[in-house]
């Protein structure tokens, strides 16, 4: 089969690595990079580190409003699809790139394959929630990572073409953890070996686009004495500057540039706790058995909340501080498959 894979954001590059390896053993794949993440540290380095085949098409869309970004993607993806006529379009997750690829496929009557189907935060104010719902409802094959995701789809009367294959990000973690130990020197470079530190990531629009929420987050961080390491997303940096906040006012805060996946693995493994608003980082924290504090009101990964492996705090200043300072001893379980999701996806694809 000829598969057209649509990628655009950092988490999708990570997920694509094991799937592309499995897919290309038996099928032809072309990759479209929409350019949704266009900074070299947020994009190019992942293709190099994870040995993902270079994109056949790079759309260079860049940052814009949701409507313009999605519309521009659809226009260019449609041109590629009409020229290449793939047998199926493969999309990942819940970004604007995901929705654009799914809508193009649905309108041109080309089967859409959705990896990470069935996730729900039940918060439709999140653009990601709209993207994942719309994508699921137009997909021919839906690859769910957990039984919770399967049940979410059932609740929306989506049962045809649905399968629980496990989580492809777990595949990636298993494949890349050993590689990270060999290749990454970030803990030594930042003098973090043997040190207690918090790893911070903040990028969700629901947080970064709200001045009061960002003020509460930064104030909470200032009340925590532990060293805080923050690989800062370019968009978050821009927003903090726009609001006039001075990061030097936050004690024991170490801002670094966005890091590659192998470096991120080492930071996640080495951290005392992770404080994030990212869906993917919540899971990786669980995989590496690093306690997590999530600055959101809901999570798609409800399984991680068991035993306080992951604690939801929203952007409440007091809750953030309490959760960071709280001592927890979670019991971690195998909730996301056995690390063979990519192979199962290819098996299901061949039934199409």
Residues with catalytic roles: 203
Is residue 168 within 8 Å of residue 18, measured between CB atoms? Answer: yes
- Rounded distance between C-alpha atoms, residue 325 and residue 297, angstroms: 19
330's tokens: 């979670």
Cα–Cα distances in angstroms (integers) from residue 238 to residues 41, 195, 235, in the given order: 16, 29, 5
Count CA within 13 A, CB hemisphere, residue 232: 15
Tracing tokens 């493969």 back to the chain, one arrives at 90
- Rounded distance between C-alpha atoms, residue 185 and residue 190, angstroms: 9
- Rounded distance between C-alpha atoms, residue 146 and residue 155, angstroms: 15
- Rounded distance between C-alpha atoms, residue 30 and residue 20, angstroms: 10
């Amino acid at each position: 089969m000829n598969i057209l894979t649509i990628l655009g954001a950092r988490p999708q590059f990570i997920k694509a690595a094991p799937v592309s390896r499995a897919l290309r053993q038996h099928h032809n794949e072309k990759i479209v990079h929409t350019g949704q993440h266009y900074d070299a540290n947020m994009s190019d380095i992942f293709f190099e580190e994870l040995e993902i085949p270079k994109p056949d098409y790079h759309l260079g869309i860049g940052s814009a409003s949701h409507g313009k970004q999605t519309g521009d993607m659809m226009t260019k993806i449609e041109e590629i699809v009409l020229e290449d006529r793939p047998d199926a379009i493969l999309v990942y997750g819940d970004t604007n790139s995901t929705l654009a690829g799914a809508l193009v496929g649905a309108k041109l009557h080309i089967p859409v394959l959705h990896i990470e189907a069935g996730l729900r935060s039940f918060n439709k104010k999140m653009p990601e929630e709209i993207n994942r719902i719309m994508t699921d409802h137009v997909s021919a094959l839906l690859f769910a990572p957990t039984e919770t995701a399967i049940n979410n789809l059932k609740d929306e009367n989506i049962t045809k073409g649905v399968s629980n294959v496990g989580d492809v990000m777990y595949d990636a973690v298993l494949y890349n953890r050993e590689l990270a130990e060999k290749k990454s020197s970030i803990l030594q470079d930042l003098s973090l070996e043997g040190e207690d530190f918090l790893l911070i990531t903040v990028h969700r629009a629901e947080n970064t686009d709200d001045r009061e929420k960002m003020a509460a987050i930064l104030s909470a961080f200032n009340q925590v004495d532990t060293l805080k390491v923050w690989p800062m997303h370019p968009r978050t940096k821009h927003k903090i500057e726009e609001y006039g906040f001075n990061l030097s006012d936050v004690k024991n805060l170490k801002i670094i540039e966005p890091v590659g996946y192998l470096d991120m693995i080492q930071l996640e493994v080495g951290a005392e706790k992770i404080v994030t608003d990212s869906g993917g980082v919540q899971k990786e924290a669980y995989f590496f058995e690093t306690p997590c504090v999530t600055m959101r009101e809901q999570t798609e990964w409800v399984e991680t909340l068991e035993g306080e492996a992951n604690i939801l705090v929203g952007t409440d200043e007091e809750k953030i501080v309490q959760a960071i300072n709280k001592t927890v001893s979670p019991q971690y379980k195998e909730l996301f498959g056995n690390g063979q999701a990519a192979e199962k996806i290819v098996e299901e694809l061949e039934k199409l």
